[in-house]
Structure 1
């Protein structure tokens, strides 16, 4: 995804999550033009989904959401996909952007700058 982008970005995915990194993520979420959430089967936690729904309510014009059904050899189950599709509908209903691929996200962001 990152090589497709033609803009500055902040990536909160780090090896070690520290209080300082959490503070920086919150700061970046406030000052950024967009908050992008890409959900994959490799995720171990679910807080990002809650953040995406919260942002779609509070900042729909800045929120972009996508879930990828597969990531290398990992895949979501059909039940998980049904749940994630419901999340997409909820986010769309809040007037935030839902994308269906990394290329679609990159095109949308690159066109916005």
Structure 2
């Protein structure tokens, strides 16, 4: 089983923590010098992975990760996992972004997406993925 790790690229490096919890293969699209070859590989990995995980943190700088998760929520909802790691703290803008991401979370839930948020979100998502991997390995 293979998992695509999408979402926020800057700020808290949630992937580093999450990868240590996984008992399956994964693709982490973060590379030092991003180029066209990397973009093409990311598209391929996202499409071919058994699950696409999108983690959103306070480091979010753009909207493409949100667009990707919403796109996947329509194309393959059974394969998408959204991890809301955003914390509403600080400025008015930060609080507004938090409410906006919560609204995206609710939209994704309506589309049948697995959503994890809160203090144990990474562990709960990893536990789910690991349980699915264990089921595959028993077959």
The alignment's TM-score, normalised by the length of structure 2, stands at 0.74
Higher alpha-carbon deviation: 79-88 or 61-70: 61-70
1:44-59 to 2 correspondences below 5 Å = 44-59=61-76
What is the CA distance between 1:15 and its match in structure 2? Answer: 2.1
Provide structure 1 residue ranges, at least 5 long, that are not aligned to the other structure: none
- Which residue is equivalent to 2:57? 40
- Which residue is equivalent to 1:112? 132
1:79-90 to 2 correspondences below 5 Å = 79-90=96-107
Q: Secondary structure at the match of 1:66?
A: strand
| 2-structure distance, mates of 1:67, 1:14 | 23
| 2-structure distance, mates of 1:52, 1:10 | 16
After the TM superposition, which parts of structure 1 deviate over 6 Å for at least 4 consecutive aligned residues? Answer: none
Higher alpha-carbon deviation: 56-65 or 12-21: 12-21
| 2-structure distance, mates of 1:82, 1:61 | 25
Provide structure 2 residue ranges, at least 5 long, that are not aligned to the other structure: 1-17, 134-139
What is the CA distance between 1:94 and its match in structure 2? Answer: 0.8
Q: Deviations over 1:10-69 (max 9, x none)?
A: 001222211001110111112110011001111222200010001001110111111212
| 2-structure distance, mates of 1:18, 1:99 | 31
| 1-structure distance, mates of 2:32, 2:63 | 17
The alignment's TM-score, normalised by the length of structure 1, stands at 0.90
Q: Secondary structure at the match of 2:82?
A: strand
